[in-house]
Structure 1
Amino acid sequence: MSHVKHFLFCLLLATSVFAQQPSGVWDVLAYGAKGDGKTMDTKAIQTAIDQCHAAGGGRVYLHNGTFLSGTIYLKSNVTLSVEAGATLLGSPKAADYPDQTSEYPTYDEHPLTSKALVYAENCRNISIEGRGTIDGRGDMLDNRGPKDPYMRPSFKYRPRILHIRGCENVLIKGVTLQNSASWVQTYQGCKNMVIDGITVDSRENKDVENPNREHAVKHRNTDGMDLVDCEVVRVSNCFITSGDDGICIKSFSPDKVCRNINITNCHVSSGASGIKIGTETAGRFEDIVIQNCTVFDTWGDGLAIMTVDGARIKRVTISDISLRNIKRAGIFVRLNTRNKKYGTNTTTNKPALLDILIANLQGSRLAALGCSITGLTDYPVENVILRNLNFEFEGGITDVKPTSVPEKADVYPVGTMFGATLPAYGFYVRHVRNITFDQVQLRFVKEDQRPAMVFDDTEDLEIRGFKAQSVVQTPELIRLINTRKTIIADSRPTATVAAFLSVYGDKSSAITLINNQLGQSKQTYFFETPSLKASVKESGTIQ
């Protein structure tokens, strides 16, 4: 071969589609992808990922097109880059999302996994980034399952957009995830993750004012983000609108832990709860911080913390949150014993819910339902601080009848589990040990005759700097039922009320009132029985 021919041959080889390794970029168009939104590009994208991985890693590049695909498998050291203007478009055919076995338990079946558009398991150093769009095409899914009265696709046929399991060093940045057929993105058993600056747009039922939201159109249970048994996670600067829960932290494994999770600077609007720990809670949850977020136009609960399947939840801090237009409980904290098992797991832990700090929250247009913090007699919620809350509720409940609140120890937890309204327009608290309300202000838009707060079976309760609205027909501002070791200080009603405090239950004892301003209370106390008067000590009252 002449020197000239040899040079030309080497030049041709260097510029061929198989010699991209020096640049670190694997362009899917070079591997046969059409990007026309009609031709299936699954094979081309997967080939690029496989060769990138085999070469030691790099970037698989989608640009200048719409790339129709079924399941693609991300691999270690590979970044899937979806450029601005490009779309990875999910196939509308369920058959293009194959099932695969997995070592990780699932929500319902085991070892069958849920389908996904992008799937990764037991990988390291993987990324999905760019300013482009990944469209799950959930509204076009062709298999909706047998005999569903609301035409919702069966769970096993509904692919997620992202399903990342058992991976370490994960980065999801900048992309838009939209129109999922199921949970938008699930991360299970992952460690050291950053999810930053992404947009989720998967709210199929747009009208939050429609009380029949699940049946108005096909409801696909599109959670915005699910973190399952993950550790060392930072979620920041995200905008999430989802058809079901917005951001959820879950556990399927009784021997696993959700730990060191920080959620910050996010905007969440959802068809169910906004930001939630649960419902699936088999393992432990520790050291979780949620801060600087807005939750708005949400059909379910605004902020929810719950253990229902044996989880031990400890050290959760929620601060600097704005809540607006929440259709269930603004705050819902619950410990119960549903005790669901996942996959092949056969054990259930003993539940615990303790060391919770909720501070610096503003809320308006909160549901007339009210907020609740409840445990069980044998498993009380412990060590809760609520500080600097300023809440305005819709109110409007004037037909107030004394009713007992059922325990419902083993049912699915949701803010309305005790009924359409709670005994208090603000907070209903039951089976709790060591709880503090510090500098809390409550009011309502429409006249509401319920007490502002009701406490049942609490011990070591402290209320300081409490201000709450009432009406003349309100029987009492604060109701205590079988409470022990209670301090109420520096508090007052902001309008006329029949009584500042009522005391019920023969277990009530050691109640102390200090420096309260009660000029607008027609009477200070109401006692269920005269003997309960001895349970109260008062000093410094200002009339």
Structure 2
Amino acid sequence: MTDQDNKAISRRNWLGAMGKVSLGTGLIAVTSHTFGAGRLPQVKATGNDMGARVYNIRDFGAKGDGKALDTAALQTAIDTCNKEQGGTVLVPAGVFVIGTVELKSNVTLHIAAQGKLLGSADGRQYHASDAIPLDIGWTMNDGNVGLIFAANAENITIEGNGIIDGQGAQFRSDTKGVLPPAGITGNHRPYHLLFYQCKNLTVRDISLINSAYHSVRVCLCSYVKMEGLYIRGKVIHNNDGFHFIGSTYVHVSNCDVQSQDDACALFGSCKFVTVSDCSFSTRWSVFRFGGGEAENIMVSNCLIYETYGCPIKMRCSPGSRFENITFSNLVMKDVTGPISIGLGTAKSSVNKVTDTPGIIRNISFNNIQATVVKPVPLRGSEFASKYNPGEIFSCITLNAMNDVYLENISFNNVDVTFPGGGTAEHASVRDVPKVAGEYYQIGIPPAYGMYARNVRGLTLHNIRFAMTSPDMRPALILDNVQDATVNGLSAQGQKNAESLLRFINTQDILVTALRVLTPVTNLLQAEGSTCANIKIEGGDISKAGKALVVTSGASTQAIRLRE
């Protein structure tokens, strides 16, 4: 070996030197021993990396053995990162058991691919956040406990390909009145992630497994991104996926959610929201709206499957307003419902004072393919569900009442196959309960395809209703509907049923390009003395034995039929 070779620095020695990183600074600790005395001066920390350092929780005492409690180590790492102008708190490979932890401003919590934060099964390890009130205006005192929470923070991120496991089954008791193994229940249970009045919030790429409550609860936050999340929660009755309350500029994309309760609830004044390219399955609803002023919301390019509680459900009580909301490019496979909009006159638990009527207007549904089924046990759920008659026999429901109307509701390019099974007794119902709570509370709807009551400005364009077994109910019922256009409706009917269509006290209706797909006894049954200006023009109604039946004071003069 030559002198020149002796003086050379080997690649192995160089990599060894590069691997010596100063804790908390990220700077390479270059020593005279590494390169030979006097070869290079020692590099000193200059603070140039403030706000970009990596804080490994093992360096703060975390064990990661799945047994030791690592809450304090994780919290200390977060506090240090926050104090030093932010950076990344790293959860490396290992299983780290934690209780309640607070995430703070300018901190990115990165969970490595083989890292797991495991919620403690001991309920004493969780505590409420004093900064998060129980009543924020649109919720029902749903608790303020988080496994990880942030309040009044900004520029926070949770990311990585790791896992947050809430051990939710430990918080469920199968015996009423008996505490679960964790020792806490109800609103004392922790959410996976709880955020309150945060700005610039991002959660991406992580797996959220078996929460003790909702997986992601976002309250009064702005500029929120939820990207690439994998959520699984079917171990407790109210395992929601996302629960947004009064939040703005919210964007959800590329998420896969299987939940026991609402998969993506939007309560309160949620505005400027997009949900796209996601898949959902749940026992209850996917998109659930309740209270407040929800507006400027777009849901697109989503797959909804095995959902046995109505994929799209809106409940608007006095003092609330839902406006400018669009659903487009949705596939619904094996669902009940599938769409229910209710505008009620009774005060709700979130709007207890006002008598101002609620408002629902400018809602559209575009390019939707749905297969409706009778509900079955939810796959993967750890307990059985009971189903109501209105869930077993369901349809698209637009339901307002008294002097309150839905306004400007449109359906374009919608194809739905229903399971059938409705009887003549189901079809005979005229006194549909005037309630706008859960969609099944009106009982078994008298239509198999769509029941619309108290709607002004209804548009149905290129709609197809089919059934997999006989159903004696009409395909479409318009009850006290004003100003409706039905263009290109194709529907199956039943030979011995009353009619394919039923219009009750309905005015200013234009039906064009109607196609009767199977033989029916009667095309249209008009009921009520206020029916007026109903026109049916064009299409193929050759399979209808009789075009028109009028009852309950309706007049043939109110209907004009032109083939």
Q: Same fold (TM over 0.5)?
A: yes
SS at match of 1:416: helix
Residue 137 of structure 1 corresponds to: 167
The correspondence for 2:361, drawn from 351, 354, 366, is 354
Q: 1:57 aligned to 2:86?
A: yes
1:29-108 paired onto structure 2 within 5 Å: 29-102=58-131, 104=133, 105-106=135-136, 107-108=139-140
Secondary structure of 1:300's match?
Answer: coil
- TM-superposed deviation, 1:342: 4.6
Residue 516 of structure 1 deviates from its aligned partner by: 3.0
Q: Which amino acid aligns with 1:462?
A: T
Contact 1:392 1:442 (C-alpha < 8 Å) held by counterparts: yes
C-alpha distance in 2 between matches for 1:329 and 1:153: 34
CA distance, structure 2, for counterparts of residue 365 and residue 341 of structure 1: 31
Does the 8 Å CA contact 2:527/2:554 hold for their aligned counterparts? no
Letter in 2 for 1:285: A
Q: Check 1:334–1:531 CA distance in 2 against 1; reply closer, same or farther (3 A cut).
A: closer
Structure 1 counterpart SS, 2:295: strand
SS at the partner of 1:466?
A: strand
Amino acid across the alignment from 1:404: R
In structure 1, C-alpha distance between the alignment counterparts of 2:364 and 2:172, rounded to whole Å: 46
How big is the shift at 1:518?
1.5
Decide which moves more: 308-317 or 226-235. Answer: 308-317
- The residue number in structure 2 matching 1:224 is 241
Q: Displacement, 1:145? A: 10
Larger radius of gyration: 2
Query: Following the alignment from structure 1 to structure 2, what is the Cα–Cα distance between the partners of residues 45 and 129?
Result: 15
Residues 168-183 of structure 1 mapped to structure 2, 5 A cutoff: 168-183=199-214
Match of 1:259 among 263, 271, 277: 271
Q: Does the CA contact (< 8 Å) of 2:317 and 2:357 recur in 1?
A: no
Q: Which amino acid aligns with 1:534?
A: Q
**Residue 515 of structure 1, CA deviation:** 1.0
- Preserved CA contact (<8 Å) 1:341 1:347: no
Name the residue aligned to 2:297: 288
Question: Which residue matches 1:196?
Answer: 227
Work out which of the residue numbers 395, 407, 429 in structure 2 matches 1:403: 429
C-alpha deviations, 1:130-169, integer Å up to 9, x for none? 0000001111238899727999964222211000110000
Q: Tell me the secondary structure at the aligned position of residue 395 of structure 1.
A: coil
Equivalent of residue 337 in structure 1, options 327, 332, 345? 345
Match of 2:256 among 217, 236, 239: 239
Per the alignment, residue 506 of structure 1 pairs with: 529
Q: Indicate the SS of the match to 1:51.
A: helix
Q: Deviations over 1:176-234 (max 9, x none)?
A: 00101111110010000110000001123xxxxxxxxxxxxxx4300111111010011
Contact 1:116 1:160 in 2 (8 A): yes
Aligned to 1:160: 191
- The amino acid across from 1:32 in the alignment is G
Counterpart-to-counterpart distance in 1, 2:508 and 2:146: 53
The amino acid of 2:266's aligned partner reads I
Amino acid in the other structure paired with 1:284: E
Aligned equivalents of 1:405, 1:136: Cα separation in 2: 46
Tell me if structure 2 keeps the 8 A contact 1:102–1:113: no
Paired amino acid for 1:193 = V
Query: Partner amino acid for 2:140?
Result: D
Query: Paired residue for 2:439?
Result: 415
Provide the residue aligned with 1:213 in structure 2. none
The C-alpha deviation readout for 1:424-478, integer Å capped at 9, x for no partner, is 0000000111101110000000111111011101100111100001121121111
Residue type of the partner of 1:308? S
Is the 2:287–2:312 Cα contact (8 Å) retained in structure 1? yes
CA distance in 2, matches of 1:259, 1:93: 38
Tell me whether 1:364 sits opposite 2:374 in the alignment. Answer: no
| C-alpha separation in 2, matches of 1:147 and 1:353 | 40
Q: Name the amino acid aligned to 1:108.
A: M
Change (3 A) 1:101 1:379: farther
Q: Structure 1's 141 and 375: CA in aligned 2 closer, same or farther, altered over 3 A?
A: same
Structure 1 residues 407 and 415, CA gap change in structure 2 (3 angstroms) = same
Paired with 1:529 and 1:329, the residues of 2 have a C-alpha distance of 30
Question: Which deviates more from structure 2 when the two are superposed, residues 452-461 or residues 360-369?
Answer: 360-369
Distance (whole Å) between structure 1 residues aligned to residue 364 and residue 339 of structure 2: 12
Q: CA deviation at 1:406?
A: 3.6
- Deviation readout 1:385-428 (Å, 9 max, x if unpaired): 1010111001112343512344444x6x2221111x21100000
Q: Which residue of 2 aligns with 1:445?
A: 468
- Asked if structure 2 preserves the Cα contact closer than 8 Å seen for 1:425 and 1:452, the reply is yes
Q: Deviations over 1:1-48 (max 9, x none)?
A: xxxxxxxxxx9xx95645457361110000000011100000000000
Q: Indicate how the Cα distance of structure 1 residues 325 and 300 shifts in structure 2: closer, same or farther if over 3 A, else same.
A: same
Cα distance in 1 for partners of 2:91, 2:355 equals: 45
Give unpaired runs (5+ residues) of structure 1: 1-10, 205-218, 252-256
Aligned-residue RMSD, C-alpha: 2.4
So what's the TM-score if we normalise by structure 2? 0.84
* One-letter identity of the residue aligned with 1:140: Q
For 1:294, give the aligned amino acid: L
Q: Distance in 2 between matches of 1:149 and 1:451?
A: 49
Partner deviation per Cα, 1:293-335 (whole Å, 9 max, x = no partner): 0111012002222213531000000000001111x31111111
Percent identical residues: 27
Residue identity matched to 1:467: S
1:390 paired residue among 415, 423, 442:
415
CA distance in 2, matches of 1:143, 1:115: 19
- Asked whether the 8 Å contact 1:371–1:415 carries over to 2, the reply is no
Residue from 492, 517, 521 that aligns with 1:494: 517
Gaps of at least 5 residues in structure 2 are 1-16, 27-46, 375-392
Deviations 1:57-107 (A, max 9, x none): 110000110110001000000011111011000011222111133354253
Q: CA deviation at 1:503?
A: 0.3
Size of the aligned set, in residue pairs, is 499
Give, in whole Å, the separation in 1 of the partners of 2:180 and 2:550.
Answer: 51
TM-score by length of 1: 0.87
The whole-number CA distance in structure 1 between the counterparts of 2:468 and 2:297 is 33
Q: CA deviation at 1:339?
A: 2.6
Amino acid in the other structure paired with 2:311: G
Deviation at 1:492?
1.9
CA contact 2:243–2:264 (8 Å) conserved in 1 = yes
Is the CA contact (8 Å cut-off) linking 1:341 and 1:348 kept in structure 2? no
- Aligned counterparts, 1:307-326, within 5 A: 307-308=316-317, 310-326=319-335
1:269 pairs with 281, 287, 301, which one?
281
Question: What's 2:546 paired with?
Answer: 523
> Per the alignment, in what secondary structure is the counterpart of residue 301 of structure 2?
strand
Q: 2:9 maps to which residue?
A: none
User: 1: CA distance between counterparts of 2:218 and 2:553?
Assistant: 58
Instruction: Tell me what 2:158 maps to.
Output: 128
